[in-house]
């Protein structure tokens, strides 16, 4: 493993790969805080600077956990968090982007994280009832007040990104992007590049599926959100496994893992791309970081893409309700 290189999200310098922290509190079954904190410290020791959380993850638990982990090491970290889901997991989704909510959410995140500023503050989902100008205007006020350094959006559509960027520079777009979710490549990525906005692919391992670790949902906790996701549903999961089998073959030929190939493919999409694979384990963290050392030729990239043609992916990336909140 060489040193982790630096990439830029707009003007914000970050490690070329970040660490997604959601699973440490949310979505993927029970977690062990001591194990998560050890993984967070190991990430910092290895040169990962970008830690990704949100107020929604574990209803504040994730921010508090990260706050504990970075206490005394604040200067080593680029802290990214998000606001926007005003409900708890399991309750009907309530997105809020009004100015009063933005201010209130930021104060609460600062308190839970135990810091005086957030490095990258994202709107988690666009609130269709509130003009983006109001939301980003309130976020820009936080920058002027020194509470936030840079702004980001998550799952915003191209038109919204343009309007937001006209109010205050947007540094990063965090949206789902992986070998099995390539929707944003047609319109959104070109707009971000035109405006100098960095790209932060979330769920870059397809929620773990692209690593080949899941051949059924049987081992997943009853509360694991993947049980409700169409791509993990009976019938779809089996068809999607055919993609992983092909990735496995390509990975074996390079003596790497399928997950490393999936991350290397994303990293080769441009110098402005900073994936944030999520893990609670030091072993996976090391494996994922080692993907930074996997160079790919144009032929290999073509072969990887041919292994996962979008028309062969079975099932949508979210359920019907959650799909209404993305790309808008």
Ligand X SMILES: NC(=O)c1ccc[n+]([C@@H]2O[C@H](COP(=O)([O-])OP(=O)(O)OC[C@H]3O[C@@H](n4cnc5c(N)ncnc54)[C@H](OP(=O)(O)O)[C@@H]3O)[C@@H](O)[C@H]2O)c1
Binder among 7, 28, 81, 189 for ligand X (CB under 6 A): 28
Binder among 4, 15, 17, 52 for ligand X (CB under 6 A): 52
Regarding 67 and contact with ligand X (CB under 6 A), the answer is no
Binder among 23, 47, 67, 84 for ligand X (CB under 6 A): 23
Regarding 181 and contact with ligand X (CB under 6 A), the answer is no
CB of 178 to ligand X, least distance (A): 7
Q: Which residues ranging from 291 to 310 are in contact with ligand X (CB under 6 A)?
A: none
The DSSP annotation for 187-255 comes to THHHHHHHHT-EEEEESTTTTTGGGT--S-STTS-TT-GGGGSGGGSTTHHHHHHHHHHHHHHHHHHTT
Binder among 63, 119, 287, 300 for ligand X (CB under 6 A): 287
Binder among 213, 254, 268, 269 for ligand X (CB under 6 A): 213
Query: In this structure, what are the phi and psi dihedrals at residue 174, rounded to the nearest 5 degrees?
Result: -105, 110
Query: In this structure, what are the phi and psi dihedrals at residue 169, rounded to the nearest 5 degrees?
Result: -55, 130
Helix axes 99-113, 61-70, angle to 10 degrees: 50
Is 318 marked active-site?
no
Cβ atoms of 200 and 328 closer than 8 Å: no
Using the structure block, give the residue that is written with the tokens 């496995």: 248
Which residue among 8, 28, 57, 214 is the active-site one? Answer: 57
177 closest CA partner among 273, 271, 52: 273
Regarding 198 and contact with ligand X (CB under 6 A), the answer is no
Binder among 47, 58, 60, 204 for ligand X (CB under 6 A): 204
Number of residues counted as binding ligand X (CB under 6 A): 29
* Token output for 157: 């559509």
Regarding 284 and contact with ligand X (CB under 6 A), the answer is yes
Q: How far apart are CA 208 and CA 297, in angstroms?
A: 25
Binder among 9, 22, 105, 192 for ligand X (CB under 6 A): 22
DSSP3 helix / strand / coil % (the chain, rounded to 5) = 45, 15, 40
Q: Binding segment for ligand X among 64-72, 90-98, 129-137, 207-215 (CB under 6 A)? A: 207-215
CB of 226 to ligand X, least distance (A): 8
Regarding 58 and contact with ligand X (CB under 6 A), the answer is no
| Pick 56 or 101: Cβ nearer ligand X | 56
x/- site string to ligand X, residues 134 to 173, per CB under 6 A?
--------------------xx------------------
DSSP 88: P
Q: How many helices (H) and strands (E) does the chain have?
A: 11, 9
170 closest CA partner among 218, 120, 204: 120
What residue ranges bind ligand X (CB under 6 A)? 20-23, 28, 52, 124, 154-155, 174, 202-208, 211, 213, 259, 276-281, 284, 287-288
């Amino acid at each position: 493993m060489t040193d982790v290189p630096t990439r830029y999200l707009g003007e914000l310098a970050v490690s070329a790969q970040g660490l997604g922290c959601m699973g440490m509190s949310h979505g993927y079954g029970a977690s062990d805080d001591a194990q998560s904190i050890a993984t967070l410290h190991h990430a910092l020791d290895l040169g990962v600077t970008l830690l990704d959380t949100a107020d929604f993850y574990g209803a504040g638990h994730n921010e508090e956990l990260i706050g504990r982990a970075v206490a005394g090491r604040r200067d080593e970290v680029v802290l990214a968090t998000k606001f926007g889901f005003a409900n708890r997991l399991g309750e009907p989704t309530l997105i809020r982007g009004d100015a009063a909510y933005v201010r209130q959410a930021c104060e609460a995140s600062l308190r839970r994280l135990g810091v005086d500023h957030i490095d990258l503050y994202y709107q988690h989902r666009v609130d269709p009832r509130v003009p983006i100008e109001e939301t980003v205007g309130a976020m820009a006020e936080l920058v002027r007040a020194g509470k936030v350094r840079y702004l980001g959006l998550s799952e915003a559509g191209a038109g919204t990104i343009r309007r937001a960027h006209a109010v205050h520079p947007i540094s990063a777009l965090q949206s789902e992007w992986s070998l099995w979710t390539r929707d944003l490549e047609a319109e959104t990525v070109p707009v971000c590049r035109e405006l100098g906005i960095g790209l932060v692919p979330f769920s870059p391992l397809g929620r773990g599926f692209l690593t080949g670790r899941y051949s059924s949902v049987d081992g997943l906790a009853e509360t694991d959100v993947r049980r409700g996701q169409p791509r993990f549903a009976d019938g779809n999961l089996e068809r999607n496994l055919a993609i992983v089998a092909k990735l496995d073959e390509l990975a074996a030929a390079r003596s790497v893992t399928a997950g490393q190939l999936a991350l290397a493919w994303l990293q080769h999409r441009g110098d402005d791309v900073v994936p944030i694979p999520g893990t609670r384990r030091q072993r996976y963290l090391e494996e994922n970081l080692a993907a930074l050392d996997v160079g790919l030729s144009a032929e290999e990239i073509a072969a990887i893409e041919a292994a996962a043609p979008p028309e062969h992916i079975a099932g949508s990336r979210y359920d019907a309700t959650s799909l209404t909140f993305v790309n808008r």
